[in-house]
C-alpha cells in the first residue's frame, strides 16, 4: 500500500511540475499594431449592425485582432486558442479580405452565409463562454442580406 501511494505522489509531482513548466511556453498573440488597409470595411459598406455582429461573433478568430479573455493565459488553453485563431484566419480573415481574388471573395461570402445559416459559426466551443456571440435568426438574416449585397457589388 505504501509503495503505491509513493508512486502516485511521484506521478502527481511530475504532472504538477510539467503543468507549471508549460506555463512559461508562450505563443504569439493575434494582435496587430496597425489597422489593415485590406480590411473589408475599408472597401465595402458594412452597416453598423452587421459590423457589430461580426466583431462580437467572428473577429476573435477571423481578423488580425483577438480580444483575449483572462483564461487564455493558462496553458494548454493558450495553445488551443492559438490553434483556433490561426485556423480561423486561414479560412477567412476580414482584415485581409480585400487582398483576396474576386473568386475567393465570392467563395468566402458564400461560406459566411452558409456556415451561419447552418449554425456552424460561431463555433459552439466559443459561444458556450461568449454568450453574446450567439446569432439570433434576425442576426443571421442581417448578415445574409449584407453578404448578398456585397456579392452583387463584387460581381
Q: Determine the average pLDDT of the residues in 117-124.
A: 91
Provide the percentage of residues in the chain whose pLDDT is more than 70: 99
CA distance linking residue 140 with residue 132, whole number of Å:
14
Whether the per-residue pLDDT at 22 is higher than 80: the answer is no
CA distance linking residue 1 with residue 107, whole number of Å:
63
Reading the block at residue 82, the C-alpha cell is 492559438
Q: Determine the average pLDDT of the residues in 130-154.
A: 94
pTM of the model: 0.83
CA distance linking residue 89 with residue 87, whole number of Å:
5
Q: Determine the average pLDDT of the residues in 1-27.
A: 81
Tell me the pLDDT tens digit for each residue of 31-50: 887 889 999 999 999 999 99
Whether the per-residue pLDDT at 1 is higher than 60: the answer is no
Q: Determine the average pLDDT of the residues in 25-31.
A: 83
Amino acid at each position: 500500500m505504501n509503495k503505491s501511494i509513493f508512486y502516485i505522489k511521484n506521478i502527481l509531482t511530475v504532472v504538477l511540475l510539467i503543468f507549471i513548466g508549460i506555463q512559461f511556453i508562450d505563443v504569439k498573440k493575434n494582435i496587430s499594431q496597425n489597422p489593415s488597409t485590406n480590411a473589408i470595411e475599408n472597401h465595402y459598406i458594412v452597416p453598423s449592425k452587421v459590423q457589430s455582429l461580426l466583431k462580437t461573433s467572428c473577429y476573435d478568430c477571423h481578423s488580425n485582432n483577438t480580444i483575449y479573455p483572462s483564461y487564455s493565459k493558462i496553458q494548454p488553453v493558450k495553445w488551443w486558442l492559438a490553434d483556433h485563431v490561426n485556423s480561423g484566419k486561414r479560412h477567412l480573415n476580414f482584415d485581409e479580405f480585400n487582398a483576396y481574388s474576386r473568386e475567393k471573395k465570392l467563395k468566402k461570402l458564400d461560406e459566411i452565409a452558409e456556415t451561419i445559416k447552418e449554425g456552424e459559426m460561431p463555433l459552439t466551443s466559443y459561444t458556450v463562454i461568449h454568450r453574446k456571440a450567439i446569432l439570433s435568426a434576425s442576426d443571421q438574416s442581417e448578415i445574409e442580406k449584407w453578404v448578398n449585397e456585397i456579392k452583387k457589388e463584387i460581381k
